[in-house]
Amino acid sequence: MKRLRVLVAVGVLALGTAGAGTAQATPVPGGSACGPTAEIFATNNTAVITDPADPRLRTHLTAFDRQVRGIIRTQGARPGNSTLLDGVFWSGEERQATYERSREFDVDRVGPAGLHQIADVIRKEYRQESVLTFRCLPRTSPDTDAVEIEAPGVSPTRLRDALLADPEARDRLGGGSVALDGRLTLIAPVTDLPLARRFTAALGVDWNRAEVRYGDEEFVG
Protein backbone atom coordinates (compact mmCIF):
# COMPACT_ATOMS: atom_id res chain seq x y z
CA MET A 1 0.00 0.00 0.00
CA LYS A 2 1.91 3.00 -1.27
CA ARG A 3 0.31 5.63 0.88
CA LEU A 4 -0.05 3.74 4.14
CA ARG A 5 3.14 5.41 5.37
CA VAL A 6 1.05 8.57 5.59
CA LEU A 7 -2.26 6.97 6.51
CA VAL A 8 -2.05 8.48 9.93
CA ALA A 9 1.32 10.09 9.63
CA VAL A 10 0.23 13.64 10.25
CA GLY A 11 0.76 12.96 13.96
CA VAL A 12 0.14 16.46 15.07
CA LEU A 13 -0.66 17.94 18.43
CA ALA A 14 0.46 20.72 20.72
CA LEU A 15 3.19 18.87 22.55
CA GLY A 16 5.94 21.25 21.55
CA THR A 17 8.75 18.70 21.98
CA ALA A 18 9.09 15.02 22.72
CA GLY A 19 9.37 15.82 26.41
CA ALA A 20 6.16 17.84 26.68
CA GLY A 21 2.92 16.72 28.31
CA THR A 22 -0.21 15.44 26.58
CA ALA A 23 -2.64 17.61 24.66
CA GLN A 24 -5.43 17.22 27.20
CA ALA A 25 -6.71 20.03 29.41
CA THR A 26 -5.63 17.97 32.44
CA PRO A 27 -2.36 16.32 31.36
CA VAL A 28 -2.08 12.61 32.05
CA PRO A 29 1.51 11.59 32.90
CA GLY A 30 2.74 9.33 30.15
CA GLY A 31 -0.24 10.01 27.92
CA SER A 32 -3.79 8.64 27.87
CA ALA A 33 -4.37 5.11 29.12
CA CYS A 34 -4.08 2.36 26.54
CA GLY A 35 -7.28 0.85 25.21
CA PRO A 36 -6.44 -2.07 22.94
CA THR A 37 -2.94 -3.54 23.15
CA ALA A 38 -2.31 -2.62 19.54
CA GLU A 39 -3.87 -1.37 16.32
CA ILE A 40 -3.50 -2.29 12.67
CA PHE A 41 -4.27 0.18 9.85
CA ALA A 42 -4.95 -1.50 6.52
CA THR A 43 -6.96 -1.53 3.30
CA ASN A 44 -7.59 -3.86 0.38
CA ASN A 45 -7.30 -1.01 -2.14
CA THR A 46 -4.44 -1.07 -4.65
CA ALA A 47 -5.58 1.82 -6.88
CA VAL A 48 -4.59 5.50 -6.79
CA ILE A 49 -7.79 7.53 -6.32
CA THR A 50 -7.62 11.27 -7.03
CA ASP A 51 -11.35 12.07 -7.33
CA PRO A 52 -13.07 12.64 -3.94
CA ALA A 53 -16.37 11.66 -5.58
CA ASP A 54 -15.05 8.27 -6.72
CA PRO A 55 -17.65 5.59 -5.79
CA ARG A 56 -14.88 3.36 -4.40
CA LEU A 57 -14.59 5.78 -1.50
CA ARG A 58 -18.14 4.93 -0.40
CA THR A 59 -17.39 1.29 0.36
CA HIS A 60 -17.71 0.18 3.98
CA LEU A 61 -15.12 -2.60 3.54
CA THR A 62 -17.52 -5.00 5.26
CA ALA A 63 -16.09 -8.21 3.78
CA PHE A 64 -12.55 -6.92 4.40
CA ASP A 65 -13.47 -6.26 8.03
CA ARG A 66 -14.70 -9.82 8.48
CA GLN A 67 -11.71 -11.33 6.70
CA VAL A 68 -9.10 -9.41 8.69
CA ARG A 69 -10.81 -10.34 11.96
CA GLY A 70 -10.48 -13.95 10.86
CA ILE A 71 -6.77 -13.48 10.20
CA ILE A 72 -6.28 -11.94 13.65
CA ARG A 73 -8.03 -14.91 15.32
CA THR A 74 -6.14 -17.45 13.23
CA GLN A 75 -2.86 -15.91 14.38
CA GLY A 76 -3.82 -16.39 18.02
CA ALA A 77 -4.76 -12.80 18.93
CA ARG A 78 -8.14 -11.32 19.84
CA PRO A 79 -9.82 -8.82 17.46
CA GLY A 80 -11.58 -5.83 18.99
CA ASN A 81 -13.41 -2.93 17.39
CA SER A 82 -12.87 -1.90 13.78
CA THR A 83 -13.22 1.70 12.55
CA LEU A 84 -13.83 2.84 8.97
CA LEU A 85 -11.49 5.67 7.91
CA ASP A 86 -11.39 8.24 5.11
CA GLY A 87 -7.79 9.00 4.24
CA VAL A 88 -6.52 12.15 2.51
CA PHE A 89 -2.92 12.09 1.27
CA TRP A 90 -0.53 14.15 -0.79
CA SER A 91 0.96 12.33 -3.76
CA GLY A 92 4.34 13.68 -4.77
CA GLU A 93 4.16 11.71 -8.02
CA GLU A 94 0.67 12.93 -8.93
CA ARG A 95 1.24 16.39 -7.40
CA GLN A 96 -2.30 16.35 -6.01
CA ALA A 97 -4.37 14.99 -3.16
CA THR A 98 -5.26 11.30 -3.21
CA TYR A 99 -7.95 9.47 -1.25
CA GLU A 100 -8.47 6.06 0.30
CA ARG A 101 -10.93 4.07 2.40
CA SER A 102 -9.30 1.91 5.05
CA ARG A 103 -9.96 0.37 8.45
CA GLU A 104 -8.29 0.50 11.84
CA PHE A 105 -8.44 -2.80 13.73
CA ASP A 106 -8.02 -3.08 17.51
CA VAL A 107 -5.97 -6.11 18.54
CA ASP A 108 -5.57 -7.58 22.03
CA ARG A 109 -3.61 -10.51 23.47
CA VAL A 110 -0.73 -9.95 21.09
CA GLY A 111 3.00 -9.30 21.47
CA PRO A 112 5.39 -7.46 19.13
CA ALA A 113 6.27 -10.55 17.09
CA GLY A 114 2.65 -11.65 16.81
CA LEU A 115 1.52 -8.17 15.74
CA HIS A 116 4.21 -8.08 13.05
CA GLN A 117 3.14 -11.49 11.80
CA ILE A 118 -0.54 -10.51 11.56
CA ALA A 119 0.32 -7.34 9.63
CA ASP A 120 2.56 -9.30 7.27
CA VAL A 121 -0.20 -11.83 6.53
CA ILE A 122 -2.62 -8.97 5.77
CA ARG A 123 -0.04 -7.27 3.56
CA LYS A 124 0.53 -10.38 1.47
CA GLU A 125 -3.15 -11.37 1.30
CA TYR A 126 -4.24 -7.96 -0.04
CA ARG A 127 -1.11 -7.15 -2.09
CA GLN A 128 -0.16 -4.10 -0.07
CA GLU A 129 3.24 -2.44 -0.05
CA SER A 130 3.07 -2.05 3.73
CA VAL A 131 0.70 -2.25 6.69
CA LEU A 132 0.95 0.10 9.66
CA THR A 133 0.82 -1.10 13.25
CA PHE A 134 0.79 0.87 16.50
CA ARG A 135 1.54 -0.78 19.85
CA CYS A 136 0.51 1.31 22.86
CA LEU A 137 3.33 1.68 25.43
CA PRO A 138 4.29 3.84 28.41
CA ARG A 139 5.81 7.14 27.40
CA THR A 140 9.10 6.19 29.07
CA SER A 141 9.42 2.79 27.35
CA PRO A 142 12.65 2.41 25.35
CA ASP A 143 10.53 1.14 22.45
CA THR A 144 8.33 4.25 22.32
CA ASP A 145 9.01 6.18 19.12
CA ALA A 146 5.60 7.56 18.08
CA VAL A 147 2.48 9.32 19.26
CA GLU A 148 -1.13 8.54 18.42
CA ILE A 149 -3.65 11.38 18.62
CA GLU A 150 -7.42 11.18 18.36
CA ALA A 151 -9.44 14.39 18.22
CA PRO A 152 -13.05 15.14 17.20
CA GLY A 153 -14.35 17.82 14.89
CA VAL A 154 -12.30 17.34 11.72
CA SER A 155 -13.71 16.62 8.25
CA PRO A 156 -11.86 15.11 5.28
CA THR A 157 -12.49 18.36 3.40
CA ARG A 158 -10.84 20.43 6.13
CA LEU A 159 -7.92 18.02 6.22
CA ARG A 160 -7.54 18.24 2.44
CA ASP A 161 -7.65 22.07 2.45
CA ALA A 162 -5.08 22.33 5.25
CA LEU A 163 -2.80 19.88 3.46
CA LEU A 164 -2.94 21.76 0.18
CA ALA A 165 -2.29 25.08 1.94
CA ASP A 166 0.89 23.90 3.68
CA PRO A 167 3.63 22.65 1.29
CA GLU A 168 5.99 21.67 4.10
CA ALA A 169 3.34 19.64 5.93
CA ARG A 170 2.11 17.88 2.81
CA ASP A 171 5.64 16.96 1.73
CA ARG A 172 6.88 15.81 5.14
CA LEU A 173 3.73 14.59 6.88
CA GLY A 174 1.83 13.40 3.85
CA GLY A 175 -1.76 13.18 5.07
CA GLY A 176 -4.11 11.77 7.65
CA SER A 177 -7.41 9.95 8.24
CA VAL A 178 -10.84 10.79 9.61
CA ALA A 179 -13.55 8.43 10.88
CA LEU A 180 -17.14 8.83 9.71
CA ASP A 181 -18.04 10.64 12.94
CA GLY A 182 -15.36 13.31 12.31
CA ARG A 183 -12.74 11.84 14.64
CA LEU A 184 -9.21 12.47 13.46
CA THR A 185 -6.71 9.65 14.05
CA LEU A 186 -3.06 10.51 13.62
CA ILE A 187 0.19 8.72 14.29
CA ALA A 188 3.58 10.40 13.93
CA PRO A 189 7.19 9.91 14.97
CA VAL A 190 7.93 11.90 18.09
CA THR A 191 10.64 13.76 16.17
CA ASP A 192 8.00 15.25 13.84
CA LEU A 193 6.01 16.94 16.61
CA PRO A 194 7.19 20.56 16.04
CA LEU A 195 5.92 20.62 12.45
CA ALA A 196 2.92 18.53 13.42
CA ARG A 197 1.94 21.01 16.10
CA ARG A 198 1.76 23.85 13.61
CA PHE A 199 -0.19 21.85 11.05
CA THR A 200 -2.80 20.57 13.50
CA ALA A 201 -3.44 24.08 14.79
CA ALA A 202 -4.58 24.91 11.25
CA LEU A 203 -7.15 22.10 11.53
CA GLY A 204 -8.71 23.78 14.58
CA VAL A 205 -8.28 20.77 16.85
CA ASP A 206 -9.64 21.31 20.38
CA TRP A 207 -6.77 20.16 22.60
CA ASN A 208 -9.05 19.83 25.63
CA ARG A 209 -10.85 17.00 23.85
CA ALA A 210 -7.83 15.30 22.30
CA GLU A 211 -6.61 11.88 23.45
CA VAL A 212 -2.90 11.17 23.25
CA ARG A 213 -1.16 7.81 23.48
CA TYR A 214 2.51 6.91 23.17
CA GLY A 215 3.81 3.75 21.58
CA ASP A 216 5.75 2.00 18.87
CA GLU A 217 4.85 2.25 15.18
CA GLU A 218 5.97 -0.18 12.51
CA PHE A 219 5.40 -0.23 8.78
CA VAL A 220 5.42 -3.92 7.98
CA GLY A 221 6.47 -4.40 4.38
DSSP β-ladder status, 131-136 and 38-42:
antiparallel
Is the pLDDT at 156 greater than 60? The verdict is yes
Those residues with Cβ within 8 angstroms of residue 214's Cβ, 6 or more apart along the chain or in another chain: 30, 31, 136, 137, 138, 139, 141, 144, 146, 147, 148
Distance, in Å, from the CA atom of 134 to the CA atom of 148, rounded to the nearest integer, reads 8
pLDDT in tens, 181-216: 999 887 888 888 777 777 777 888 877 787 888 999
Give bridge partners of residue 109 from the DSSP assignment.
none
pLDDT tens for 118-148 read 999 999 999 999 999 999 999 899 999 998 8
Residue 16: φ, ψ to 5°: 75, -70
* Residue 17 reports pLDDT greater than 50: no
pLDDT-derived band at 114 (thresholds 50, 70, 90) equals very high
Does position 7 have pLDDT exceeding 50, yes or no?
Answer: no
Separation of alpha carbons 163 and 168, rounded Å: 9
